[in-house]
């Protein structure tokens, strides 16, 4: 009589695991998606190693709301479109709500399907241009005021061991890397920090006409961000369709200065539950 009980117990365990995975999948699809910041394109609003949850309820649901599952070690690569591709098309959302200018948004890259996080700068139908590093929206420059410098140690960061780029080059490793810091205020009154460390071609752009149903995004670390200033054909983001939005990033849960989120001894004590502005 013992063997049937063991078999029954094993089946119950399998059922429990499957049920838990289904619940986790539903939770991640409908409510919140974890996001780990891998690059410095949103400094100093978001740092490499910040861990946050993306609020998927903010803008409603589309094919992009389905999770992407990638486990390179076993060759698993399931895209959101593989699961919810039937929802794609028409650039519409279920229970859709328009994002607000200044929101920090996670979205699916229109071409490669990767998750990106940037700040929403211009809305559908607007004109936007960058002149001498300053953003113009519908011909009017946004307000920018100097705010000192953003300082960090020049050392490898995050799992990819990226080295920060500095305005005060040449800086030796473990020296203090500085970037110029400004407060940018958008037309709707949203203020946030932006960084600058060099002159480059995307500091002066043509006028972009944001198509209906699309959005224009920039990284806060303006000289280290692949965003809407660069077309998809040139490796950038271009204009992002409404249906590609995943959700809004509101708060950092924790932040690791090391290679892994699980390296608790590298957690930054001043970033627990930090609000994202």
Q: Which residues pair with 185 in a beta bridge?
A: 143, 191
Give residues with Cβ within 8 angstroms of 72, minimum separation 6: none
**At residue 68, what are phi and psi to the nearest 5 degrees?**
-100, 135
Query: Where is pLDDT greater, at 243 or 75?
Result: 243
Neighbours of 168 (CB within 10 A): 15
- Distance (Å, rounded) from C-alpha 156 to C-alpha 168? 17
At 110 the three-state DSSP class reads: coil
Q: Are 110 and 238 in contact (CB under 8 A)?
A: yes
Is-catalytic flag, 3?
no
At 24 the three-state DSSP class reads: helix
- Distance (Å, rounded) from C-alpha 1 to C-alpha 11? 16
- Mind listing the pLDDT tens digit for each residue in 197-209? 988 889 999 999 9
Task: State residue 30's pLDDT score.
Answer: 56
What's the chain's average pLDDT?
88
- As a whole-number percent, the residues of the chain with pLDDT over 90 amount to 63
Q: Is the pLDDT of residue 4 over 70?
A: no
Q: Is the pLDDT of residue 3 over 80?
A: no
> Is the entire prediction scored with pTM above 0.75?
yes
Q: Is the pLDDT of residue 105 over 90?
A: yes
Q: Is the pLDDT of residue 164 over 60?
A: yes
Nearest to 214 by CA among 42, 91, 116, 111: 91
Q: Are 46 and 253 in contact (CB under 8 A)?
A: no
Mean pLDDT of 210-233: 95
Confidence class for position 27, pLDDT limits 50, 70, 90: very low
Task: State residue 10's pLDDT score.
Answer: 59
Task: State residue 88's pLDDT score.
Answer: 86
Q: Is the pLDDT of residue 76 over 80?
A: no
- Mind listing the pLDDT tens digit for each residue in 237-256? 999 999 999 999 999 999 99
**Fold observed for domain 32-268:** Umud Fragment, subunit A (2.10.109)
The residue annotated as part of the active site, out of 41, 225, 255, 256, is 41
The residue annotated as part of the active site, out of 118, 154, 179, 181, is 118
- Distance (Å, rounded) from C-alpha 204 to C-alpha 137? 14
Is-catalytic flag, 41?
yes
């Amino acid at each position: 009589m013992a063997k049937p009980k063991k078999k029954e117990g094993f089946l119950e365990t399998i059922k429990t695991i499957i049920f838990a995975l289904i619940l986790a999948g539903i939770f991640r699809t409908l409510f919140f998606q974890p996001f780990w910041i891998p690059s410095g394109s949103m400094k100093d609003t978001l740092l490499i190693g910040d861990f946050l949850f993306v609020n998927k309820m903010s803008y409603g649901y589309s094919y992009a709301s389905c999770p992407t599952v990638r486990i390179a070690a076993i060759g698993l690569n399931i895209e959101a479109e593989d699961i919810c591709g039937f929802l794609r098309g028409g650039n519409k959302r279920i229970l859709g709500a328009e994002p607000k200018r200044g929101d920090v948004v996670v979205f699916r890259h229109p071409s490669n399907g990767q998750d990106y996080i940037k700040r929403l700068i211009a809305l559908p139908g607007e004109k936007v241009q960058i002149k001498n590093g300053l953003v113009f929206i519908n011909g009017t420059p946004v307000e920018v005021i100097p705010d000192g410098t953003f300082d960090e140690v020049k050392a490898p960061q995050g799992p990819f061991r990226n080295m920060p780029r500095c305005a005060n080059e040449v800086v030796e490793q473990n020296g203090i890397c500085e970037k110029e810091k400004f407060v940018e205020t958008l037309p709707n009154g949203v203020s946030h920090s932006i960084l600058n460390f060099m002159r480059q071609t995307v500091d002066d752009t043509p006028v972009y006409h944001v198509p209906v149903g699309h959005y224009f995004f920039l990284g806060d670390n303006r000289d280290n961000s692949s965003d809407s200033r660069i077309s998809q054909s040139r490796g950038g983001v271009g204009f992002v369709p409404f249906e590609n939005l995943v959700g809004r990033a509101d708060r950092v849960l924790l932040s690791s200065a090391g290679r892994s989120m699980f390296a608790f001894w590298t957690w930054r004590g001043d970033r627990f539950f930090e609000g994202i502005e």
